[in-house]
């Protein structure tokens, strides 16, 4: 509704000679299509590749076939992607609502909007109130409405959220014994993606630097919140189920909790002690002394 103009953006006044909103519109280095494609598809592909290639052995230590690795990796990747998608939707909604509430002009606002009241500017009174109307018909209506949605940067918030989430995932899910340089290299790729998406918004004159900074902070905070609240340290969903099953199987009397093997071991020791105590109770004191003398 916000993107299609069904919910109007708050309009704020501006100065005709403000150099911060007088740049020419030059397009996007990273378009919204490229941003959304990498944001939605790249994490899912990364989850699937890491879960399929790095976990090729099952719980019993047996190697999985290629088909088993692919199916198990896809199932686990969809689990992680759902957690990622929850946080992504929150970042997107918060960014859109902030754009509507703030209504800050983009650096190319005058060139894109072409307000009708700019012709009334004079040297003594160059402030335009918020009741202006955009008159540019050479570009799409979406770009005209988008000209006063500068704060915060959606490119910065979405790319930073994706980068921080993937860095955290790679650090926790990629085994340390694969290769020394793989994890740092993947971290660099994620950081480069966030930096390119963020800094090009300033060089393209699509955002002010404080818009990008706000988007970066928002994306990092939401990624941290999502990992801490929903992902639980990136432990495998199947491992969590197994751990919970073992925990419930290990419930014994007197409130003690242990593994199923630990419980069987306790029962074996208890059975051994009971049998030993019944055996020793049948021996008379005289026989016990004779056996001790023979052993010495």
Domain final position from 205, 235, 265: 235
Burial of 227 (0-12, 13-18, 19+ CB in 10 A): buried
Tell me whether residue 28 is in a domain: yes
Indicate if the pLDDT at residue 105 is higher than 90: yes
> Looking at the structure, do residues 108 and 184 belong to the same domain, yes or no?
yes
Q: What is the pLDDT of residue 151?
A: 94
What average pLDDT does the chain have? 79
Largest CA distance in the chain: 122
Mean pLDDT across 83-106: 94
Return the pLDDT at 85: 96
Asked if residue 222 has pLDDT above 90, the reply is: yes
The answer to whether residues 198 and 221 belong to one domain is yes
The pLDDT assigned to 231 comes to 82
* Position 5 in a domain: no
Looking at per-residue confidence, does 262 or 7 come out higher?
Answer: 7
Give 274's pLDDT tier (boundaries 50, 70, 90). very low
Burial state string for 120-156 with b = 16 or more CB within 10 A and e = fewer than 16: eeeeeeeebeeebebebeeeeeeebbbbbbbbbbbbb
Instruction: List, in order, residues 6 or more apart from 13 with CB less than 8 Å away.
Output: 127, 128, 129, 130
More confident residue, 156 or 117: 156
**Spatial contact of 83 and 222, defined as CB atoms under 8 Å apart:** no
Q: What are the backbone dihedrals phi and psi of residue 185, each rounded to the nearest 5 degrees, phi first?
A: -65, -45
Look at residue 288 in the predicted model and tell me its pLDDT.
Answer: 57
Residue 75 and residue 147 in one domain = yes
Give 153-209 pLDDT, tens digit per residue: 999 999 999 999 999 999 988 877 777 788 899 999 999 999 999 999 999 999 999
Tokens describing residue 79: 């689990």
Per-residue pLDDT at 215:
96
Q: Are residues 150 and 279 in the same domain?
A: no
Percent over 70 (pLDDT), the chain: 74
Which token pair is 189? 């790729």
Mean pLDDT over residues 68-97, rounded? Answer: 91
Residue 85 is assigned to a structural domain of this protein: yes
Question: Does 181 share its domain with 267?
Answer: no
pLDDT range class, residue 10, cuts 50, 70, 90: confident
Q: How confident is the model at residue 107 (pLDDT cuts 50, 70, 90)?
A: very high
Q: Is residue 116 domain-resident?
A: yes
* Rg of the chain on CA atoms, in Å: 32
Considering its fold, how many domains does the chain have in total?
2
Alpha carbon of 155 to those of 89, 110, 169, 252: distances in Å?
A: 14, 22, 21, 54
For 28, how many CA atoms within 13 A lie in the half-sphere containing its CB? Answer: 16
pTM score, whole prediction: 0.75
Q: What is the mean pLDDT of residues 215-244?
A: 76
Same domain, 216 and 133: yes
Is 71 within a domain?
Answer: yes
Structural contact between residues 151 and 213, judged by C-beta atoms closer than 8 angstroms: no
Examine residue 257 and state whether it is found in any structural domain, yes or no.
yes
Mean pLDDT in residue range 125-148: 88
Is 1 part of a structural domain of the chain?
Answer: no
- Specify whether 213 is located in the same domain as 268: no
Confidence of residue 90 (pLDDT cuts 50, 70, 90): very high
210 with 274, same domain?
Answer: no
62 pLDDT above the threshold of 80: no
Same domain, 48 and 106: yes
**Of residues 66 and 228, more confidently modeled:** 228
Statement to judge: residues 81 and 142 lie in one domain: yes
Domain span at residue 278 reads: 250-295
Closest CA to 202 of 191, 187, 190, 212: 212
């Amino acid at each position: 509704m916000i993107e299609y103009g069904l919910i109007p953006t708050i309009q704020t006044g501006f100065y005709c000679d403000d150099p911060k909103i007088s740049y020419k519109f030059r397009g996007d280095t990273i378009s919204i299509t490229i941003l959304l494609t990498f944001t939605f598809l790249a994490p899912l592909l990364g989850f699937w590749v890491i879960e399929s290639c790095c976990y090729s052995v099952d719980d019993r230590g047996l190697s999985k076939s290629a088909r088993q690795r692919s199916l198990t990796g896809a199932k686990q990747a969809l689990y992680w992607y759902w957690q990622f998608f929850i946080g992504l939707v929150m970042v997107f909604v918060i960014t859109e609502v902030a754009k509507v509430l703030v209504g800050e002009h983009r650096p190319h606002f005058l060139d894109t909007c072409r307000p009708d009241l700019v012709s009334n500017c004079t040297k003594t009174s160059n402030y335009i109130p918020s009741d202006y109307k955009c008159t540019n018909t050479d570009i799409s209506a979406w770009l005209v409405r988008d000209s006063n949605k500068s704060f915060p940067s959606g490119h910065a918030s979405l790319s930073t959220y994706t980068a921080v989430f993937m860095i955290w995932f790679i650090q926790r899910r990629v085994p340390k014994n694969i290769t020394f340089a793989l994890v740092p290299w993947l971290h660099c790729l994620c950081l480069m993606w966030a930096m390119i998406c963020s800094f090009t918004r300033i060089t393209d004159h699509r955002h002010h630097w404080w818009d990008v900074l706000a988007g970066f902070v928002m994306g990092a905070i939401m990624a941290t919140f999502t990992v801490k609240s929903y992902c639980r340290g990136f432990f495998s969903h199947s491992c969590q189920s197994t751990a919970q099953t073992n925990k419930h199987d290990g419930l014994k009397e007197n409130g003690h909790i242990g593994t199923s093997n630990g419980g069987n071991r306790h029962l074996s020791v208890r059975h051994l002690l009971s049998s030993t105590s019944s055996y020793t109770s049948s021996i008379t004191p005289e026989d016990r002394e004779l056996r001790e003398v023979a052993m010495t």
